[in-house]
Amino acid sequence: MARIFITGSSDGLGLMAGQRLAREGHEVVLHARNTDRGEVARRALPNAAQIVIGDVVTIAGMRSVAEQANAIGRFDAVIHNVGIGYREARRLETRDGLSHLFAINVLAPYLLTALMERPDRLVYLSSGMHPGGIPDMDDLQWTRRRWSGSQAYAETKFLNVLLAFGVARHWPAVRSNALEPGWVPTRMGGPGAPDDMAAAPVTQAWLAVGDDPATRVTGRYFYHQREKSPEPSTRRVGLQEALLDRCATLSGVPLP
C-alpha cells in the first residue's frame, strides 16, 4: 500500500480524497492549517496515519509543513490540494509581501515540491477556470492591476498547470500531473456549484495510487479520469521556466 500526503485536507476535496484512499488501505497523512482544523480532520478520518499542522500562508509555514512531512518519511504520492477560492473582494497581502491568493495557491505547492523528498507521483489541483487565467508574468502579485478575485484565482489555477508540467520536465522519473475536479459544492465552491460531488475526489486519488496504464504518464491534464487538453499556453516551456524562476526568487529555494 502507498503512503500519501494531501495538503489542505481538513475538509472538502482533500479530506474526501483521504477518506477514499484510507478505505482502500493506504497510509494517509492529512494537513490542516491549525490544531483546531486538525482535530476536525482527525474526527472525520480517525485512521489517518498523522496530521501535519501548518499555515501555508507564509513561507515559514510552508517550510514547517515540508519539514514535518519529511520527518514522517518519503511519500509515494503527494496531492497538492491546498487552495483558496475566488471570493476575495480585495487584494490581501501576506507577511512576506505576497498576494494571499498567490502564496497559498501557487507558492505553497511550489515550495513543498522543492523541499520535500521526491515522491513517485505528484498531483496538482487546477480548475476548469484556468483557460481564462493566462497570467501577467510581470504582475503575479497584482500590485499593478486593478484587483479581480475571479481573474486572480483563474491565474493561480493556470499557474498550477504550469507548475505540474514544469516539474514533469525537470524530474522525468516523477509522474507529475494536474487535474480539474469540477465545480462542486464544497466550502470553496459554494452551495450552488452544479457538478457531481461524489466524482470530485476520484481523479486525484486515482492519479496518486492507480495501476491503470492511464496513470503511468507525466505532464498531463485530467478531468474525471480522462485526459483533457489544457489551455495551450500551459505547454510553453518559457512560461513554465518563468514561473519556476519567480517562485525560486520569492521563496529563496530553487527547484532541485
The catalytic site residues sit at 153, 157
219 neighbors 168 (Cβ within 8 angstroms): yes
What are the cell numbers at 104? 497559498
What is the rounded CA–CA span in Å between residue 99 and residue 140? 8
| DSSP letter (8 states) at residue 26 | -
| DSSP letter (8 states) at residue 27 | E
Tell me the angle at which helices 35-44 and 12-23 cross, rounded to the nearest 10 degrees: 40
138 neighbors 93 (Cβ within 8 angstroms): no
What is the rounded CA–CA span in Å between residue 118 and residue 76? 9
What are the cell numbers at 197? 460531488
Q: What backbone phi and psi angles, to 5 degrees, belong to 208?
A: -75, -35
- Burial zone of 223 (CB within 10 Å; 0-12 exposed, 13-18 middle, 19+ buried): middle
